[in-house]
């Protein structure tokens, strides 16, 4: 686990004025990584760090000699911490780098962002116990959670090729569905399109094939965290998922925030990982004192919706739910990494591990419409009178995340937005 150091000092301020504005996602204590280029250009994407409303071009500032984000992610923890310290010192008030680095800034409003790294593989887990329980009750009232849920992190292999960055627009997926009273399935566009509020854990340094990552070392292999919307076609999913799990219901689109908030930036916002006493405790390979002491992340997550009519009327997105990861996740990122590799599987820099839907225990903390509307039985009424059971064409779904705690400066994960079209 990263120890607190000078880069986390709440008194630290930047010569980039926007970084000092209260409530900004990107103060100098954050410094998340992404890939950008000037909007409208054909330039190659470069590695940048968000600072206030600006992006610092790391190569132009002389901080890196590559535009390959995955190469940077493969660096040792020591080298990553040294780079963070150098960026922080150069952006701090009074730095002698101000004159030179000012020329390496680009306003975020003038930038085009892309997926923050090259994602070779994507595994989506199912760590949200309240989500799993609620969904389970809809399909299996007598046994909401399967017997293995509290013993082993459940996951499936997702599709990396259809992952896009915030602002992604995608077509409503088509596939087979089967009504309960139908003799045969039918083919057509999904009528039960949903979102899933997740965190994405991005792997830094990988491991060799056949060499598992011990839980005590797992955090050293985690580069950082981003927001993830794992769009889901619930009607396709219900028909296809047995016996091998999700397929077309999940692989048509997934959307990421453009920014990776590093594990170093998250150091002030760690929390204890505690299982209820009556629940099974993790098996020894998934347990470590460090994971129990501070393996969890304290991140507030928000979901907002803007319909096509709201957009036409100039109405801003409205909040659907608000929750926190400490109440939602049954497994930690370290446990996911360790379990993923315990059989010898080799992770690589840039691999994405989805947390699964992070719903809280209360109805207004749901991380999907499936939960929020109880499978479509209780429509959500929006302030303008529109109703939603599932997403309709033209809907834009926005997710935001941030960390705040006494004695630390608030940092944000940015936002991830996506729009479904016919």
For 143-189, what is each residue's pLDDT tens digit? 899 999 999 999 999 999 999 999 999 999 999 999 999 999 999 99
Ligand-binding site membership of 357 (annotated): yes
What single string gives the DSSP state of each residue in 79-142? HHHHHHHHHHHHHBTT-TTHHHHGGGEEEGGGEEEE-SS----EEEE--BHHHHHHHHHHH-TT
Ligand-binding site membership of 230 (annotated): yes
- Given a contact cutoff of 8 angstroms between Cβ atoms, the answer to whether 72 and 81 are in contact is no
Task: Note the pLDDT of residue 58.
Answer: 98
| Residue 131 appears among annotated catalytic residues | yes
CATH 2.30.30.230 residue ranges of the chain are 6-114
Rounded mean pLDDT, 329-348: 98
CATH 3.90.850.10 residue ranges of the chain are 122-421
Of 8, 130, 131, 340, the active-site residue reads: 131
252-281 pLDDT, tens digit each: 999 999 999 999 999 999 999 999 999 999
- How large a percentage of the chain has pLDDT more than 70? 100
* Burial environment of residue 249 by CB neighbours within 10 A (0 to 12, 13 to 18, 19 or more): buried
Q: Which CATH number fits domain 6-114: 3.20.20.70, 3.65.10.10, 2.30.30.230, 1.20.140.10?
A: 2.30.30.230
- Residue whose tokens read 């701090």: 92
CATH class belonging to 122-421:
alpha beta
Ligand-binding site membership of 348 (annotated): no
Q: Please tell me the distance from the alpha carbon of residue 54 to that of residue 293, in angstroms, as a whole number.
A: 35
- CB-based contacts of 14: which residues, under 8 Å, 6+ apart? 20, 27, 28, 51, 52, 91, 92, 93
373-409 pLDDT, tens digit each: 999 999 999 999 999 999 999 999 999 999 999 999 9
Ligand-binding site membership of 11 (annotated): no
Phi, psi of 104 (to 5 degrees): -100, 10
**pLDDT tier for residue 139 given thresholds of 50, 70 and 90:** confident
Ligand-binding site membership of 150 (annotated): no
């Amino acid at each position: 686990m990263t120890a607190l150091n000078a880069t986390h000092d709440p008194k630290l301020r930047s010569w980039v004025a926007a970084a000092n504005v209260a409530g900004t996602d990107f103060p100098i204590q954050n410094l998340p990584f992404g890939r950008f280029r000037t909007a409208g250009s054909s330039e190659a994407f470069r590695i940048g760090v968000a600072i206030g409303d600006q992006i610092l071009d790391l190569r132009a500032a002389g901080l890196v000699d590559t535009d390959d984000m995955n190469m940077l992610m493969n660096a040792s923890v020591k080298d990553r911490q040294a780079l963070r310290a150098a960026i922080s010192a150069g952006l701090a008030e009074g730095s002698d780098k101000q004159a030179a680095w000012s020329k390496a800034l680009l306003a975020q409003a003038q930038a085009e962002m892309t997926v923050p790294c090259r994602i070779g593989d994507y595994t989506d887990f199912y760590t949200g116990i309240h989500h799993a329980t609620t969904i389970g009750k809809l399909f299996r009232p007598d046994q909401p959670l399967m017997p293995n849920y509290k013993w082993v992190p459940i996951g499936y292999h997702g599709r990396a090729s259809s992952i896009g960055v915030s602002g992604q627009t995608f077509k409503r997926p088509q596939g087979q569905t089967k009504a309960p009273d139908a003799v045969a399935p039918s083919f057509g566009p999904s009528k039960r399109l949903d979102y899933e509020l997740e965190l994405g854990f991005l792997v830094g340094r990988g491991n060799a094939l056949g060499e598992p990552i011990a839980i005590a070392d797992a955090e050293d292999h985690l580069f950082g965290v981003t927001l993830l919307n794992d769009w889901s076609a619930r009607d396709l999913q219900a028909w296809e998922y047995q016996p091998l799990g999700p397929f077309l219901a999940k692989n048509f689109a997934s959307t990421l925030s453009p920014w990776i908030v590093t594990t170093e930036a998250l150091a002030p916002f760690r929390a204890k990982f505690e299982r209820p006493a009556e629940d099974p405790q993790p098996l020894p390979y998934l347990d470590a004192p460090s994971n129990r002491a501070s393996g969890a992340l304290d991140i507030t997550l928000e979901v907002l919706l803007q319909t096509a009519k709201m957009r036409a009327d100039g109405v801003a997105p409205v909040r659907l739910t608000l929750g926190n990861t400490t109440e939602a996740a049954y497994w930690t990122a370290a446990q996911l990494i360790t379990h993923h590799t315990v059989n010898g599987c080799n992770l690589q820099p840039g691999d994405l591990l989805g947390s699964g839907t992070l719903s809280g225990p209360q109805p207004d903390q749901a991380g999907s419409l499936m939960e929020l509307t109880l499978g479509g039985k209780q429509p959500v009424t929006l302030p303008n009178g529109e109703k939603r059971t599932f997403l309709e064409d033209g809907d834009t779904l926005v997710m935001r995340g941030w960390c705040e705690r006494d004695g630390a400066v608030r940092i944000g994960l940015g936002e991830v937005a996506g729009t479904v079209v016919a």
